[in-house]
Every structure is written in C-alpha cells, then in structure tokens.
A and B are shown apart, each in its own frame.
Chain A
Amino acid sequence: MCDTANKNIYLPYLTTVEEVIDETPDVRTLRLVFQDPQLSENFTFRSGQFAEYSAFGAGEATFCIASSPTRKGYIECSFRSVGRVTEELRRLEVGDTMGVRGPYGNSFPIEEFFGKNMVFVAGGIALPPLRTLICNCLDQRDKFGDITIVYGARTEADLVYKRELKEWQERADVRLVKTVDPGGDGPEWDGMVGFVPTILGEAAPSAENTIALVCGPPIMIKFTLPVLEKLGFTDEQVYTTLENRMKCGLGKCGRCNVGNVYVCKDGPVFTAQQIKAMPMEF
C-alpha cells in the first residue's frame, strides 16, 4: 500500500497496543493503532491479508489481520501463545509499542461475493481469518444475501470472539450455528454439540448462489470439503486461507511454498479448486 521504492522492506511500522482482549485462556487479541498519524489515517488493507508482527528481541510472527478494513483507525490480530514470539507478544500491555509489517498477500475477492449468500465455516483459532470478512460483510449487510456462520471449538472456553458470537447470535440477519466437541459443553451451553463438518451437514445451507469460506485445522478442512460437495457446492464456490511458516512475507525467503505456490504471494486465500491442485505439503 505504501511506496516502497528504495525503502527497507523489512522495516516494520510502529504501533501502540490500544486494547488487550483475552479470548480464551491462551488466545489473545491485540488492538493496534499506528503511531504515525498519517499512516493511521491512510493504512488500508483487504480482508484476507496478513502481516508480520514484531516482538522486539524475539522476532516476528505471521497472522492475518483479524479486524475489518471497514473499521478504521486500528487493526487487530489474534494469536495463541505457543512459540517464542507469541509468548513475548502476550507480555505486551496497553500502551506498549509493537512492530507491524504489511499488509501482505492476496485477499478475498469480496466484490465478487456481492449479491450472494455467504456461509462461513471455522474451527477453533481459525476464526480470525474469517472474522475480518464476516465483519466486512456485516458492515455492508445490504450487499449480501443470507449469512450463515458455523463455528466450533473443542470446548466452550476455546471459542474466540465470544462478544461477537453473542452479537451475531442476536442479529436477525445472521444465522450463527455454534458447536463444541462432544464433552466440551458446560451447563450453560446453548449451542450444538458435535464436530464442525457434521454440524455443517445438519445445518445444510443451500449452495445456490452461495460462497462458502472454510478455515480450520487441516483435518477439519479435509472433512468439511466433502460435506460442502454433498450440499452441492462446486470447488469454485469454496474458499479457504492457508497458513505456513513464513519469515519475509514478501516472496523471497523461500519457506512458505506449497509446491510452486508461495502462500505469501499467491495466497493466503485460495479456492478449493486451487487447493486440490496443490501437492499435500501444508
């Protein structure tokens, strides 16, 4: 988005942590505001794009931008603390400085989805890459037909964005089907019990004039694609985002490739048709 001619492409922008939200015991969302007011004003991205987030001293980690480009003045990222960098990012407090490089990669072709029904299918920590698009769609609600969200996690506690789930549940123009794995429900649980692919099959959204967007662990995607097929979705109607270990995010460092496809440049958003053409290397 910025003029990068003769610039250091590895230099992050500086942001301030404006809000820290604990989604689950180990998943945290950070709301970030660019320190340069002009950049804060002009920073644009598209749903589906990702960034490299710096914990100075530990390095960089790759996540999608989880907020919607329709909500300006900040960006959000959500991550599980599992590695060196994410452990450090977790230690950041409101007011602390964090580095961000991006936005990188392709995006969901949202304009092509105008006038269509949308079915979002996500599992666990994989809701953030779809949440940017869900919020984007909801902020221009009249441009879309029916919106269905099927979201599941192992247990009630593992569901991310609980505030938004509540909001989506209360909206008359959104159908939220939330589920937890058998045994993951508590006494207060008001959703379904069962694995995401099964629950998706039972919810049975129509494939007619519909786009399906799937994001989750590889095993969930593997079992979800046949369900969608059975519901009548073609591979061109199904989108997903891939995640691979990355360093540069710029198509140079050579590690995120799946066959000859660079996730950082050719992705992270792919149709099921593109995914099926790839070797099993993700």
Chain B
Amino acid sequence: MAGPGQEMPNPMLAKVRRFDTVAVMFSLSASKRVNGVFAELGQITLLAREAAASLLKGRASWRDLLYQIYYIGVKSQSVVLITGAFTGMVLAAQTYFQFHKVKMDTATLAVVSISMCSELGPVLTALMVAGCVGAAMAAEIGTMRVTEQIDALRALATHPVDYLVVPRLIAAHLALPLLTVEAIGIGILGGYFVSVNLLDIEPTYLWANMLRYTHQSDLVIGLIKAFIYGGVIALIGCYKGMTCRLGVEGVGQATTEAVVYASITILIANFFLTLILGKLVSWL
C-alpha cells in the first residue's frame, strides 16, 4: 500500500520501464559486438598488409616456407582424402537415385565432377584444413605468445609477421589448391567406383559424359577459390594466435575461434566468389 503523499505503483509503467532497460542493454551489447567484429576485421586487414609488405621485400625465409608447405600438406592428407572420396561417392549415389528416374544415369559422374571441381572440392577441403591446420596455427602461435616466445623473437630482432605469418600464409596459398586437386581427383574416382561397381552404370558413357560436360573453367574456378581460402585460413589462424588472451584458456578460445571464424568466412566468401567467378567466366 502506498503511504500518504506517495503515488500508487503502476504495474504497466513498471513493465514498460523493465522492457526499456532490457532493450537498451540488448542494443548496447549488440553495438559492442558489432564494433568488436569491425575492429577485428580492421586488425586482420592490417596483418594482411604487413604480411604483403614483408612478402614483397623478401623477408621470409625459404627454409620456413618449405617446412610449412610440408606441414600443411602432410597434416591434411588423410582428412582431405577421406572427405574427397566419401563426398564423391555419396554425391554419385544421390545423383543416380534422382537421374535414374529420368533415364539419365550416365550423366551421374558429370554432376559429381562439376560439383567437386567448382564447389565441393575447394569448400570441403578448406573447411577440413581450417579444422586441422588453422586450429594448429592458432594453438601454436597462441602458445608461443603465452610462453613469451613471441617476445623472444622480437628481442632477437625478428618481426613476428616475417617469421610466423608470412611462411604460413604463402604455404597455405600454395597448399590449398594442391590439396583441392587431390580432393577433386579422389572424389571423382570415388564417384566412378560407386557408379560402376555398385550402381551398374555403363563406364564408357559415364566417363565420356563427364569429359563432355566438365569444362576447364570449372577447375579454374575451384583452384581460384582454394587459393583465396588458403589465405583466409592462415590469416585468421595466425591473427587469433597472435592476439589470444594469456593463459591456457586463452589459447583454447583462440583455437576454437580460428576454426569457427575461418569456416564462416569460407562459406560466406564461397557464395560471393561463385557469383563473381561465374559472371566472369560467362563474360569470357
């Protein structure tokens, strides 16, 4: 009960005030998050610029570069092969089930080939490499930061971007297209195996149709995408490692974020690249 001279509490007004508070807090939190995303994008862009300048001035060592190419290639072999093979196989089976209804069985491998070359090959390879190599980059560099090894590099008159980022960036740019070719090849072979041995499709027409409908441009589009995704994985992995919070928890969080951010960036970039590269090919 309100005392003398006091207003009666209005429940409706209280609800509106509570809603206002929640709305303000939500909008503040959202704007902070958006600001954070843009700040990180800016930092990654600055890192890319520093890496490009370092690359142009030839500050990276060949020894580190070769090691990183070997490391990325070897570390990703099994996942890329398994992903490529099973994607090609399941794609062949699924395509056959639909095409068989309209008597287009022999076009099955053409669909597998085009999909693998321009979309599934580069995207799935990049996602797999982001999962193992991108995470490893963030964890390795993050641990170096936590244990003062990055400070030790700087004290030894070595720029961390020259030593840590540039070799990884070039290696990822070079290794991703090679791994993608591997995934495409094994995917098509997997699709061929399933089509011929399990679905009883005539191999000659199957192969001939694949060659007929798959164009060089499909492969080129896939390789351009893979080249770009390599840079995305290395840049985000290195950035997350170099800026991770100190402590074991910080390294763990940086590793997770490196994989999540790289995967999301790859999937979003893939949409725009498909549109842009598709238009370019049709103009040419």
Task: Answer whether A and B are interacting partners.
Answer: no
